[in-house]
Chain A
Amino acid sequence: MLGRDPELHRPPRLSWGNLIKALAEHGIQVTEDELINAPLTIDLHPEVQAELKTR
C-alpha cells in the first residue's frame, strides 16, 4: 500500500520502507511523506498489460 487516509483512526502502515532505505544507501534522504507526494508512475509487466489488453 502506497497511500492512506491520514484521518483514519488507525492509518495503515505503508510500503515505502525499502525504497527509503535504498535511497539512503545512495546518500539520498527522503521521508515517507515526500514519496507519497512525488509523482507516481505504475509500470505494468508485459504479461499484466497483455491480460488487460485482451479482456
Chain B
Amino acid sequence: MTDTAERPVTVERVFALVELQDRVVREIRDRAALQGPDAPATALNTNQPGEDRLNIYVSLSAHTSDGQHIATGTRDFVSGSAVRVTASAVSGTATADPAQPTTKTSASTSNATITSASTTSRTGSTRCSGATPSFTARPGCRGAT
C-alpha cells in the first residue's frame, strides 16, 4: 500500500540573525583594520548607562520540511536596552542612531553554543540559504534579546 497523501509542510527550525546598526559595524571594521582582529573590544558595553544607545536587531527566518529557507526580509525586532558608551579608537565619541526604532525585549536562553555566523536578505520575503547554526537554544526555551 502506498502513502499518496500529501504531507503538510512544517517548520523544522527557526533562525534569528542578530545584527548591530550599520554605523557600529563600520566602526568595528575600521578598528579591526587599524588595530588588527585581536584588538580589544572597546566599542560595546551593554551594562553601563550612557547617552549613546546600542541597538541590536534580529531578523527571523525558517527552514521548512520541504527544504525551503524562508526569511521575513526585514528586521523583526530590535533590542534597544543595551547602551553603547565607549568611543571606538577610530571614530571618537559615538552618537545615537535616532532613525531606528527602539523596543525593549526580554527573554532567556540556555545551553547555548556559538559556532559561526551567516547573513540574510533584507528585501522582501526571501528564500535564502547558507544559514549556519551558531547559537542554539534548548528547544522549548525560546528567547533572544
Q: Which residues of A contact B (CB under 8 A)?
A: 1-4, 15-16, 18-19, 21-23, 25-30, 34-52, 54-55
Contacts and interface: CB of A to CB of B under 8 A. Distances in A.
Contacts, number: 171
Given A2-B143, A27-B9, A54 B40 contact: yes
A43 B9 contact: no
17 contacts: A1-B107, A3-B143, A15-B77, A18-B60, A18-B72, A19-B14, A26-B68, A35-B62, A37-B140, A39-B139, A40-B144, A43-B117, A44-B117, A44-B134, A45-B19, A50-B28, A52-B114
B4 interface: no
Nearest to B28: A47
A16 B28 CA distance: 30
Chain B: interface secondary structure?
loop
B134 A23 contact: no
A19 B142 contact: no
B117 A51 contact: no
A19 B63 CA distance: 11
Interface in B10-36: 10-20, 24-25, 28-29, 32
B114 A41 contact: no
B92 to A, nearest CB: 19
Given A22-B73, A50-B37, A40 B137 contact: yes
Contacts of B140: 37
